[in-house]
Amino acid sequence: MRNQFRNGIVDRERNKTHYMKVLYCVSEVAPIFKLGGLGDVAGSLPKALAGLGVDIRIALPFFSSIDRKRYAVSQKPVDSFRFPYGENHGYESVSLYQTKIPGSHVPVLLFANARYLSQYVSQREYGTTIDTIARFSFFSEAIVFWLLGHKQTSQWFPDIIHLNDWHVSLVAAVPSIPKTLLTIHNLSYQGIDANNSNKKNQPNLLRLGLKSATLVNTVSKTYAKDIQTKEFGENLEGILKQRKKDLTGILNGIDYSVWNPMRDQYLNQELRITNYELRQKKYDRFKTVNKYYLQKSLALPTIADIPVFAFIGRIEPQQKGIDILIHALENLLPKTNFQMVILGTGEPIWEDRLHKISHLKSTRKKFVFADRFDEALAHRIYAGADFILIPSKFEPCGLVQMIAMRYAAIPIVRATGGLADTVKDKKTGLTFKDYSAKELEAAVARALWLYFSGKKFERMRQKGVEEDFSWEKSAKEYVKLYWKIMRL
């Protein structure tokens, strides 16, 4: 507590120290439960905010796949309540268990309910289905009932509720709750049933949240502008334009304690970069041993001077660009000398196409598709690959390119959203503009040329490593936004 006091946020205008209390509501928190970048953000931003003196607690569903032992979840509930829910005037009960983000003091409250909140959500069902909508509508209502109960008993009560994406945006629409910040991590998921063709007349959870949240932000400045246009607005550009004055962009950071090539828990001592190597800007040994180890573990030929490219992410064309990637690979792999590793899961038809490519004679010793979610392999790929491909159609922020740079892998990205804000063409990575396999192929050709250029390649790697993607700056911007909300 005393430590928090020392780090307390001084509201200079009022000239007093105040500990704002924030409830951070989200559907995933790394490493406790992670599907993608949202999990990374929720597992790191709150730690940075706590470091700045914010009294922050996280609300997360208690999915059955969460490892109780590993994450030291409380044996018994720390709270429980019942509330009217569903048809026939029924009641549902919720028990709250507690843990912390590993390596921090940030409390994570796990909302347990067997009917709605235990079922595991996977990367393969990332899109919205009627099931996930029911799950998260329930979670949102449970948060509200829990909060209202707290108000009456004057226990810990937040000044601000920080909502993330459609899953919890419904909370903002309840009039009696505190002020809210709604962060859009990805506008293309809105809490409408993707399988129902009658999209117009369906309730849209994100729209409800956008209308009512006190302030709204998204995860890069470019994406904050993009989403006010028809091209990227996903039919919500109207409401976003209306709320233009309340909408800002704050770039995500990455957790430097997790994504740290000097202390990476998934890399053995010999595979980590040393302090000396980092200071001397010598990445060769680090990259070479990791490339060897990666190739060996994936049964690729262990050749030191062949460029290794990789893709890590959801296997779908709507955002991640898997269609143009597949086209480019079909063209390039048979005739060009490089290796390619893909790690990801997603839509079965696109996974099948990748499996087919991996079974071709012409690609056998060059291409690996790991169709799973594998945190350890992801770390080893960042460390061992020379280039990471991110051919996204759109990208609100994107973390893969930042992690890649930290591990001296050069990102090759389409210049959109957060990718455009974080990768400097020809300096820290390679960028291309048009969304087409041709452009991507041309970027790969530039990468191959760069790889064999020696000095230029090394300089680009070094510039990438030197970039600062820690949360320090962005967390302060969130605190400013919280203060703005408090004053409204």
Q: How far is the CB of 377 from ligand ADP (least distance, A)?
A: 7
Q: How far is the CB of 419 from ligand ADP (least distance, A)?
A: 9
Structural contact between residues 388 and 404, judged by C-beta atoms closer than 8 angstroms: yes
Q: How far is the CB of 218 from ligand ADP (least distance, A)?
A: 13
Closer to ligand ADP by CB, 314 or 461: give it: 314
Helix (H, G, I), strand (E, B) or coil at 105: coil
Structural contact between residues 443 and 430, judged by C-beta atoms closer than 8 angstroms: yes
Residue of 294, 358, 298, 349 lying closest to 322 (CA atoms):
349
Q: How far is the CB of 374 from ligand ADP (least distance, A)?
A: 5
Closer to ligand ADP by CB, 147 or 380: give it: 380
Closer to ligand ADP by CB, 284 or 375: give it: 375
DSSP string over 158-189: -SEEEEEHHHHHGGGG-TTS-EEEEEES-TT-
Q: How far is the CB of 315 from ligand ADP (least distance, A)?
A: 9
Closer to ligand ADP by CB, 299 or 376: give it: 376
Residues 383-395 as b or e (16 or more Cβ within 10 Å = b) = bbbbbbbbbbbbb
Greatest CA separation for the chain: 71
Structural contact between residues 309 and 341, judged by C-beta atoms closer than 8 angstroms: yes
Structural contact between residues 110 and 62, judged by C-beta atoms closer than 8 angstroms: yes
Q: How far is the CB of 389 from ligand ADP (least distance, A)?
A: 12
Name 367's bridge partners. Answer: 340
Closer to ligand ADP by CB, 38 or 208: give it: 38
CA distances 195 to 6, 79, 126, 199, 201, Å, are: 52, 37, 13, 9, 14
Q: How far is the CB of 320 from ligand ADP (least distance, A)?
A: 7
Structural contact between residues 163 and 144, judged by C-beta atoms closer than 8 angstroms: no
Q: How far is the CB of 41 from ligand ADP (least distance, A)?
A: 8
Closer to ligand ADP by CB, 160 or 310: give it: 310
**Extended beta strands in 254-385, E state:** 308-312, 339-343, 367-370
Joined tokens for residue 416: 């959109």
Q: How far apart are CA 305 and CA 17, in angstroms?
A: 57
Q: How far apart are CA 151 and CA 57, in angstroms?
A: 16
Q: How far is the CB of 96 from ligand ADP (least distance, A)?
A: 27
Q: How far is the CB of 219 from ligand ADP (least distance, A)?
A: 8
Closer to ligand ADP by CB, 142 or 404: give it: 404
Closer to ligand ADP by CB, 116 or 223: give it: 223
How large is the angle between the packed helices 437-451 and 322-332, nearest 10 degrees? 60
Closer to ligand ADP by CB, 38 or 171: give it: 38
Closer to ligand ADP by CB, 50 or 315: give it: 315
**Nearest residue (beta carbon) to ligand ADP:** 37
Helix (H, G, I), strand (E, B) or coil at 271: helix
- Torsions phi, psi for 82 (to 5 deg): -125, 150
Q: What angle do CA 257, 258, 264 make, to 5 degrees?
A: 100
Residue of 217, 165, 146 lying closest to 26 (CA atoms):
165
Helix (H, G, I), strand (E, B) or coil at 476: helix
Joined tokens for residue 347: 């839509």
Q: How far is the CB of 272 from ligand ADP (least distance, A)?
A: 18
Binding site for ligand ADP (CB under 6 A): 36-38, 40, 312-314, 343-345, 373-375, 378, 398-400
Closer to ligand ADP by CB, 300 or 377: give it: 377
